[in-house]
Chains A and B, each alone.
Chain A
Amino acid sequence: MFRRFLLLFISIVTLHACSSSEEIVPTITDSFDRNALLVNIADNIIIPAYEDFSSKMGALNTAGETFTTTPNQANLEALRSSWFAAYKVWQHIEMFDIGKAEELQFKFYMNIYPVTVSDIEDNIASGSYDLNSVNNQDAQGFPALDYLLHGLADTDTAILEKFTNAENNDNYKNYITAVLNQMHTLTLSVVSDFKTQKGAFVTSTENTATSSLNKLINDYIFYYEKGLRANKFGIPAGTFSSTPLPDKVEGRYKNDVSKELALEALTAVQNLFEGKHYNAETTGVSFKDYLITLNRTDIATSISNQFNIASTQVQTLENSFATQINTNNTEMTRSYDELQIAVVLLKVDMLQAFNISVDYVDADGD
């Protein structure tokens, strides 16, 4: 009897050891093709968006050089418009907190708002600063440019004055150059890294906390909840505070762009969900298809519908969220509520259907 047990025990241990070490890819597949999903997202969404952003960023950098060399009204306006063009494309890539972007904390150097004006002004006054420092994350990126190009003074003449006749005008110009350099360098590094890592990215489809599929989904939902819903709507509308905080809107110094940026971001979120190619009408394999394969068309449709409802509601708002908050905050919080419903659908229903391993919960279950 005992010998039988020992034999049994040994064979189980060996079997278990073998099964966990072997890496045979099964040939029969009748479940969803997750590799095709990642390929579609990488080739048709992330890379085109990255490339577009990279070129817009290059143009912004050039416009910056032109302006700092010759600070005049025409060059200021050119710089502003390339700032906005790049800022809009940024809304399509902020959610990809993966690979190099995650490692470098890309989004923290590009889009922390509101900026701390005193930090920017102190940096400019002293002329010495380290933009790689975490303390300066709220003194650079798009929001810092927003301040420098729109918020330095009330009129364009007065703003130009800072870059021309003011005592430390060189410091102002240098700061613009430094901020743009930082953004440009980070962008080049993130984009080229993703392109070289793409092969590994699209094949990492296992259901583990560190696979690119799971990280992508987790980051996507986190971005939607935090970056989009909370930062662009909830926080300025005063959802988390006793009073509304209109100064915390995105693009507050340009002032009339917060709605356009937010809608751009919402479109990007919906496009990723539906697998819609960047800047095109074609669609490919998507999270939505995955849900449908899992027989959860109900969730898939609810999410698309809710994105549409939220988008319609946001379109009714003023171009400037700050104005909207100050005149009729109810509509702003209504937008937040519609966005929040989609959070539940993504975070509760979609995640449950995918049964994704979540990185932060690794304790035992029953």
Chain B
Amino acid sequence: MLMKRLKYNFKEQTNAAPLAIFRLFFGLMMFASIIRFWANGWIEKLYLVPKFHFSYFGFSWIKPIGNYTYLLFIICGASALFVAIGYKYRIAIITFFLSFLYIELMDKTTYLNHYYFISIVSFLLLFLPANAYFSLDAVVRKKQYQQIPKWTIDSIKLMLVIIYLTAGLVKLNTDWLFRAMPLKIWLPSKYDLPFIGENLMQQNWFHFAMSWSGMLYDLVIPFLLLYKRTRFVAFLFVIFFHVFTRVLFPIGMFPFIMIVSALIFFDAALHTKIINFIKKYVLKSKTTLLLAPNFYFPKVQRKVILSLFTVFFAIQLLLPWRSLLYPGELFWTEEGYRFSWRVMLMEKAGSTNFKIANVASGSYFSVNNTDFLTPFQEKQMSYQPDFILEYAHFLGDHFTKQGHKNVGVFATSYVALNGRLSTRFVDEKVDLYQEKVSFKHKEWILPFQSEIKIKGI
């Protein structure tokens, strides 16, 4: 009996409408995001103005491409639109995935968990029959499929469940739960919000209530969405939670992306109604397409995709916990912090300055960071060890090229975390120019010294 319950039926077919709606909204959201990114002037500010770019380990060959960067965004935005309408879907989603990934890999200064979310969802979409139903492709081939394999839709649900649960589990730490950090710093600074700014936002109990309910939300919402009888209420929670965080924090399009993503948990009846609504009032079209009952993957293709997804989800389950392999305090060293759904857990800032020394003679001078970095890059560099090391190497190369001899690069760094006083961050005696960039633990990060330790996952 139990085995039967646990056994997943990969042969089961389901209505294609939820995936079609997901494709449509995801594409539109991506298109809007690209437009917004451009309109805010961020292409220039984040990718063209900086003289130096921080790269992900192994991807230093991916850089902004001058004014062609705009072309890259045009391609990315256009392909998102093609994904939305489901025209030449396979080519469109491949183009979108690659161009978006390229944009993200250009400079890690702009890393956000929600960009990572978009990358992996579009990776899944590469393999899903999202154009089977209600797409321009269906119109062109004059045939649409009513039913698709159930596991295709479930794979997106699984991804969302993993994200929510991981984000909830990592909130189980003493800073979040028992010090209400960093919300205790962030919320009072929203004093200029109408109605709640000067009172609610300033209350100690409210900071704790927000921390605990945020944690509970992440841990419980996937189950409430999966269970039919609680689904509608859960969706109200989803809307309230994400709209509220949007009001409080500068998180751009992310809340809206999560809200429309959560629609995938609903039954096809709702999606069919949305489709009918769009047909009637937006497209004003009465054409009905020949309905082919079932879409199936060719046998080999199905096998390949399923094995690929198995590996993919195994990685998704494990990757957030790679931080356990590193010694020291994760929030301090940030070794294994990215790509792990640790969202809004830290208010961290630093001040990091570099000395260029002649290690033979002992003479040295200091670097003015603004000569090489934009203020945003300097801010991000100042508290993230991998940024510090990469920048130290850049400085070492730069001054060696300028003709300085026996160059050594030393950092004086102070970092403050979640309302603790700033303390020294980097061992000042270590020549960072001699330290190799790798995934190994960075010995030159001074241990987390605060008496207020962080315990938890």
Contacts and interface: CB of A to CB of B under 8 A. Distances in A.
A294 B415 CA distance: 19
Contacts of A239: 365-366
Interface stretch (A74-82, A171-179, A268-276, A340-348): A340-348
The 5 closest A-B pairs by CB, nearest first: A355-B189, A364-B252, A2-B273, A206-B192, A360-B375
Given A234-B366, A302-B421, A31 B202 contact: yes
B155 interface: no
B347 interface: yes
A208 B190 CA distance: 10
A348 B194 contact: no
B69 interface: no
Nearest to A346: B351
Contact of B422 (A4, A8, A345, A363): A345
A302 B252 CA distance: 36
A363 B415 CA distance: 22
Interface residues on A, range: 35 or more
Interface residues on B, range: 35 or more
B205 interface: no
Contacts of B273: 1-2
Given A351-B349, A356-B189, 7 more contacts: A2-B277, A23-B194, A24-B194, A205-B192, A353-B419, A355-B189, A364-B253
B192 A349 contact: no
Contacts of A344: 351, 414, 422
Contacts of B113: 366
B277 A366 contact: no
B447 interface: no
B243 interface: yes
Given A1-B270, A208-B192, A365 B112 contact: yes
B223 interface: no
Interface of B: 40, 42, 45-46, 110, 112-114, 185-186, 188-192, 194-195, 197-199, 201-202, 232, 236, 239, 243, 247, 249-254, 269-270, 273-274, 277, 343-344, 347, 349-351, 353, 363, 365-368, 374-376, 379, 414-416, 419, 421-422
Contact of B185 (A30, A347, A352): A352
A118 B343 CA distance: 57
A299 interface: yes
A242 interface: yes
A366 B365 contact: no
Contacts of A349: 416, 421-422
A352 B383 CA distance: 13
Interface of B is mostly: mixed
A5 B270 contact: yes
A28 interface: yes
Contact of B243 (A16, A242, A343): A16
A230 B368 CA distance: 10
B349 A352 contact: yes
A28 B195 contact: no
Contacts, number: 130
Given A242-B363, A352-B347, A355-B186, A360 B421 contact: no
A361 B194 contact: no
A144 to B, nearest CB: 25
A120 B202 CA distance: 56
Contacts of A352: 185, 347, 349, 416, 419
A351 to B, nearest CB: 7
Contacts of A302: 421
Contacts of A355: 185-186, 188-189, 347
B198 A28 contact: yes
A196 B146 CA distance: 70
A230 B40 CA distance: 33
Given A207-B191, A242-B363, A360 B376 contact: yes
A12 interface: yes
A294 B202 CA distance: 10
Contacts of A12: 239, 243
28 contacts: A19-B247, A22-B194, A26-B198, A26-B199, A31-B188, A31-B201, A205-B192, A206-B192, A207-B190, A207-B191, A208-B192, A230-B368, A294-B188, A299-B421, A302-B421, A347-B349, A348-B422, A351-B349, A352-B347, A352-B349, A355-B186, A358-B375, A360-B375, A361-B375, A362-B250, A363-B376, A365-B250, A366-B112
A281 interface: no
A28 B199 contact: yes
A241 B371 CA distance: 13
B188 A348 contact: no
Given A28-B198, A29-B198, A348-B422, A366 B114 contact: yes
Contact of B191 (A31, A296, A353, A360): A31
A24 B185 contact: no
Nearest to B46: A363
Interface string A171-193: 00000000000000000000000
Contacts of B40: 362
A354 interface: yes
A216 to B, nearest CB: 16
B437 to A, nearest CB: 24
Interface string A284-320: 0000000000101011001000000000000000000
Contacts of B236: 8
A151 interface: no
Contacts of A340: 353
A81 B191 CA distance: 48
A349 B164 CA distance: 32
Nearest to A352: B349
Nearest to A351: B349
A4 B349 CA distance: 45
Contacts of A23: 194
Nearest to B110: A363
Contacts of A234: 366
Nearest to B41: A362
Contact of A1 (B42, B269, B366): B269
Contacts of B419: 296, 352-353
